[in-house]
């Protein structure tokens, strides 16, 4: 256990291990669990085993905070993939997913969103405004911005309109990207979502797909081709990437001052999950766009938290944790809010509807005097 203890000291950025306080919840403990399943040492789906498997946000912090896995039989960057494969295997043999995951999986099957909302209400946030379904640029809104964080959808559309960009919405034809299904092992249904979405995007004539959701971004860009062999023949951009490129081209002019002190929270899906496979020189393409946009906003003061970019502390919402372990999800987000507060910032900004949702819930639960914004909300105010 000497090597494991050494690794445990390094992995102080693991929400699971930190919260539950047991070596089994760190990545090396989880890898031992995988070994036990492979070698038929573990043959019964106990609650403890399922907690170790599913009480993990799949943030990938272990992939950058504990790079020396010599002797443990796996590469650091494999940890998220291994855990997702493990969950898919447990679903296949009937041990998983957890009941909360089964419930939202059924909603995706019936309603094409995990929130048990009517599919026809997907664009209710647009207040009846008619947007074309076919366009070269499609805004893929995502379930959370469509149903739970609608301010992000409205802000994104406001920005696109103010910049004079022609774009379309898929409306009811936009289905869940499949991210919540993939993170909990429900791959068969996720593949149905993937094939439908790519088909309707192609039918819409999309050459560029913009998404304000980090989970949608990773799923469309990486998971569709890597898991299902579906290679989208259109460009996929986060709103931060789009805004940054327009800034560099001199196509954005801000007119309204924002006298606000903010810090920035990196979403795991569009940050660490993408950057871990890139060279050091390429990583700035992932982490700098939202920061460049923030720094361009007039009168806005920006301060980094100590843990940023690849080393960021997870918001606590991912991997099916918010639905299955809500108290732990709020604890994890509150730890991030405390770190944000220590910078002196008045607000924490992110580029993920799910991060915004969980951080906002944690503000309400903790009563910490912080505002939570998506980057698009600030940009829309400043235009």
DSSP structure string for 17-71: HHHH-SGGGSHHHHHHHHHHHHTTS--S--HHHHHHHHS-----HHHHH----TT
DSSP structure string for 300-359: -EE---SS-GGGPPP-S-TTTHHHH-HHHHHHHHHHHHHHHHHTT-SEEEES-HHHHHHH
Nearest 5°: CA angle at 314, between 313 and 320? 160
Cβ atoms within 10 A of the Cβ of 5, count? 9
Among candidate residues 197, 217, 245, the one where a domain is terminated: 245
Distance CA 81, CA 217 (A): 17
68 plus 140 within the same structural domain: no
Q: Which 3 state secondary structure label does DSSP give 242? A: helix
pLDDT, tens digit (0-9, with 9 covering 90-100), for 325-337? 999 999 999 999 9
Domain count for the chain: 3
**In this predicted structure, which of 20-34, 178-192, 230-244, 285-299 has the lowest mean pLDDT?**
20-34
Angle at which helices 47-54 and 27-38 pack, to 10 degrees?
130
Q: How confident is the model at residue 222 (pLDDT cuts 50, 70, 90)?
A: very high
Output the pLDDT for position 7. 47
Q: How confident is the model at residue 76 (pLDDT cuts 50, 70, 90)?
A: low
The CA–CA distances, whole Å, from 249 to 157, 206, 208, 238, 243 equal 20, 22, 18, 17, 10
221 plus 112 within the same structural domain: yes
pLDDT at 9 exceeding the cut of 70 = no
Q: Dihedral of CA 59/346/380/122: which sign?
A: positive
Q: Give me Rg for the CA atoms of the chain.
A: 20
Distance CA 303, CA 212 (A): 23
Among candidate residues 43, 66, 92, the one where a domain is terminated: 92
18 plus 51 within the same structural domain: yes
135 plus 14 within the same structural domain: no
49 plus 111 within the same structural domain: no
Q: Average pLDDT, stretch 51-61?
A: 94
Across all residues in the chain, what is the average pLDDT?
92
Cβ atoms within 10 A of the Cβ of 368, count? 14
Higher pLDDT, 147 or 42: 147
Q: What are phi and psi of 264, to 5 degrees?
A: -120, 135
Q: How confident is the model at residue 8 (pLDDT cuts 50, 70, 90)?
A: very low
80 plus 145 within the same structural domain: no
pLDDT at 368 exceeding the cut of 90 = yes
pLDDT at 93 exceeding the cut of 90 = yes
107 plus 237 within the same structural domain: yes
327 plus 228 within the same structural domain: no
285 plus 231 within the same structural domain: no
87 plus 110 within the same structural domain: no
For the chain, give the percent of residues with pLDDT over 70.
94
Task: Please enumerate, as own/partner, the contacts of 21-25 that have beta carbons within 8 Å and a separation of 24 or more.
Answer: 24/52, 25/52, 25/55, 25/56
Least Cα distance to 27 among 40, 39, 13, 38 occurs for: 13
Instruction: Give the domain range for residue 180.
Output: 99-245
Angle at which helices 47-54 and 79-92 pack, to 10 degrees?
140
Among candidate residues 45, 69, 92, the one where a domain is terminated: 92
Q: Average pLDDT, stretch 149-165?
A: 97
Cβ atoms within 10 A of the Cβ of 328, count? 18
Output the pLDDT for position 129. 76
203 plus 314 within the same structural domain: no
Residue pair 84/183 in contact by the 8 Å Cβ criterion: yes
Instruction: Give strand pairing partners of 263.
Output: 348
Q: What is the CATH number of the domain that holds 227?
A: 3.40.50.1860
285 plus 172 within the same structural domain: no
Q: What is the CATH number of the domain that holds 309?
A: 3.40.50
């Amino acid at each position: 256990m000497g090597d494991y203890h050494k690794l445990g000291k390094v992995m102080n950025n693991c929400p699971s291990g930190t919260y539950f306080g047991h070596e089994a919840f760190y990545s090396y403990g989880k890898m031992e669990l995988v070994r036990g399943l492979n070698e038929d040492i573990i043959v019964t789906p106990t609650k403890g085993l399922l907690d170790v498997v599913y009480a993990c946000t799949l943030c990938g912090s272990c992939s950058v905070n504990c790079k020396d896995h010599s002797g443990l039989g796996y590469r650091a960057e494999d940890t998220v993939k291994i855990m997702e494969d493990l969950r898919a295997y447990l679903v296949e043999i009937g041990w998983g997913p957890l009941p909360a995951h089964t419930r939202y999986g059924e909603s995706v099957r019936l309603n094409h969103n995990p929130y048990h909302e009517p599919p026809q209400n997907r664009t209710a946030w647009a207040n009846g405004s008619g947007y074309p379904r076919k366009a070269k640029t499609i805004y893929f809104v995502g379930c959370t911005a469509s149903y739970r964080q609608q301010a992000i959808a409205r802000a994104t559309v406001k920005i696109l309109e103010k910049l004079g960009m022609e774009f379309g919405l898929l409306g009811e034809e936009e289905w869940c990207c499949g991210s919540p299904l993939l993170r909990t092992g429900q791959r068969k249904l996720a593949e149905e979502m993937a094939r439908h979405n790519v088909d309707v995007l192609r039918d819409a004539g999309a050459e560029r797909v913009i998404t304000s959701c980090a989970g949608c971004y990773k799923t469309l860009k990486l998971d569709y081709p890597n898991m299902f062999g579906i290679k989208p023949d259109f460009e996929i951009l986060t709103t931060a990437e789009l805004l940054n490129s327009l800034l560099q081209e001199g196509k954005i002019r801000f007119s309204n001052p924002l006298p606000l002190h903010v810090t920035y929270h990196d979403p795991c899906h569009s940050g660490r999950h993408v950057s871990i496979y890139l060279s050091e020189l390429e990583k700035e393409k992932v982490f700098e766009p939202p920061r460049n946009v923030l720094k361009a906003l007039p009168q806005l003061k920006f301060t980094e938290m100590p843990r940023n970019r690849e080393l960021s502390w997870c918001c606590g919402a991912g991997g099916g944790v918010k639905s299955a372990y809500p108290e732990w999800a709020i604890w994890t987000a509150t730890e991030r809010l405390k770190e944000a507060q220590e910078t002196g910032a008045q607000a924490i900004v992110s580029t993920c509807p799910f991060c915004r949702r969980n951080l906002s819930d944690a503000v309400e639960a903790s009563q910490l005097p912080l505002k939570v914004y998506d980057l698009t909300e600030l940009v829309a105010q400043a235009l």
